[in-house]
Amino acid sequence: MKIAGLDLSITSSGVVIEEVDEKFNITKLERHGFTTVKKNAILPGIEFYSYKDYNNVYQRYSFLEDRILDWCKDCDYIAVEAFALSRGKSGKVFDLAEFEGYIKQMLFRYGKKLRFYPPNQNKKIFSNYGNADKIRMRDTLLEMNKKKSYGNILLDVSDLPPVKDGKKGAAPTSDIIDAFSLCESLRLELKLKFGIENLNNQPKYIQEVFITKTDEHPLGLIASDFIYK
């Protein structure tokens, strides 16, 4: 089985794909991202593009969308943030919503099983902080790698640009880390729902995420089905 986490943006989306065995242990891990910095184009899994190659934003969006959908074509379950967040000009949030909505709709049409995590929910599962910034997300990954807490197949970001700004992060590093956090949240949810792990044995902060009742999940996330065709 393959599962994926998508951190979507109109400039530098991050994608992490995990191949897992019957107990949801990671057997293979892929990272994908985009860069507009040519020297970063040689990095594994990173695709270069230039704004000047496109006559309008829709040409560029089509390029990004096609790559993301192709990377995810063999995935069974996919996690994406529940709603679009955008920094900068206010109008950009609508551009991101269009971009993200198209990808979600196409994944739905392709028969993928989808989970949309609110950012604070996903961040809490991953780092124990619902408002974790880019530095904390980076530090969480590095600590997990040090402890090998998710297995022996690790997400290596040491060759990517360093994350020095907690608010802005660094592309494509922060995008890939955020995508990994989504994928790991999804993997944990699947382990719980397939009976590989017991929610009662999880840390209290994780239990809270899965049992809290919301408008979207009136019985709690643990009792909510995935979105699929």
Domains of the chain: 2-223 (3.30.420.10)
Task: Please give the pLDDT value at position 84.
Answer: 59
For strands 26-35 and 14-20, give the pairing.
antiparallel
Task: Please give the pLDDT value at position 76.
Answer: 99
Task: Please give the pLDDT value at position 91.
Answer: 56
Q: Is the dihedral of CA 194, 200, 201, 206 positive or negative?
A: positive
H runs (alpha helix) in 33-91: 57-71
Q: Is the dihedral of CA 79, 123, 160, 188 positive or negative?
A: negative
Positions in the chain short of pLDDT 50: none
Task: Please give the pLDDT value at position 209.
Answer: 97
Task: Please give the pLDDT value at position 93.
Answer: 80
> Could you report the per-residue pLDDT of 116-164, keeping only the tens digit for each?
999 999 999 999 999 999 999 999 999 999 999 999 999 999 999 999 9
Among 167, 112, 180, CA closest to 140: 180
Among 16, 21, 14, CA closest to 4: 16
Task: Please give the pLDDT value at position 105.
Answer: 98
